[in-house]
Structure 1
Amino acid sequence: LSMQQMTIAKNSLLAHMEKSGWPHKHVLALATFFLQLENHDKQQELEGNTILLIYQAHVRCEWNAALKAPSRDATFNIGVINDALLESISMEYWNVHRAEGVLGSVPPPYTQLTQANQYFPL
């Protein structure tokens, strides 16, 4: 999803949560979460929206799992952005892209040998 698609989808999600009887405090916490993401400074950074979307997916899954847990000890306030986790996700995202860039700049194995075989068959 793009950030715009997430924004559109979250409006529907929140409305359906209300209709299906989710506790108001959970709906409000999730609405706050989305508002925090939509207004986060990370959006101004290169690939910031992508990183925020990855963070959103990760944290929302963790939050839902915590709500389903028999013990509510693991529940957290999803409306508060975990800056350390966001930075960790950002670093991981850029490390993967740097590695892909390096791997993309190296020719596949045996390319030079294959080219040489065109002129000097074995």
Structure 2
Amino acid sequence: MNFLKRQGPNAKYILTVCTGSWILSSTGLLDGKRATTNKEMFKVIKEDTKDLPITWIAKARWVATEDKKIWSSSGITAGKLVGMDLAYAFLEYITGKGPSEASAGLLEMMVNGEGDDPFAAKNGLV
């Protein structure tokens, strides 16, 4: 935690996968921001952090903060491989559509957008 608290404010980007956003929430780096997390743990995490000024987004495969500095994904797969939906969105933000689409094609990946999250309904969150 101390490392995140010290380095986070100076980091160009911070990406979390699954319940990593829960860990990040305890550093204050998500205060006043939007984030998502694993849907099976969503209610537990939202309850645990209810006194923190974080807007938890239930129906999201990934969420980027308004300033695009912090990116969180909903599950370890976020659709495919480790954080692939988040990775695709982040790559598109950094490099543009061309490289991200080429990467998705190479991986034969079906891309899920930020709100393409069937797990929110499955876990009774929406």
After TM superposition, the score normalised by the length of structure 2 is 0.28
Bigger Cα Rg: 1
Higher helix share: 1
Question: Higher strand share goes to which structure?
Answer: 2
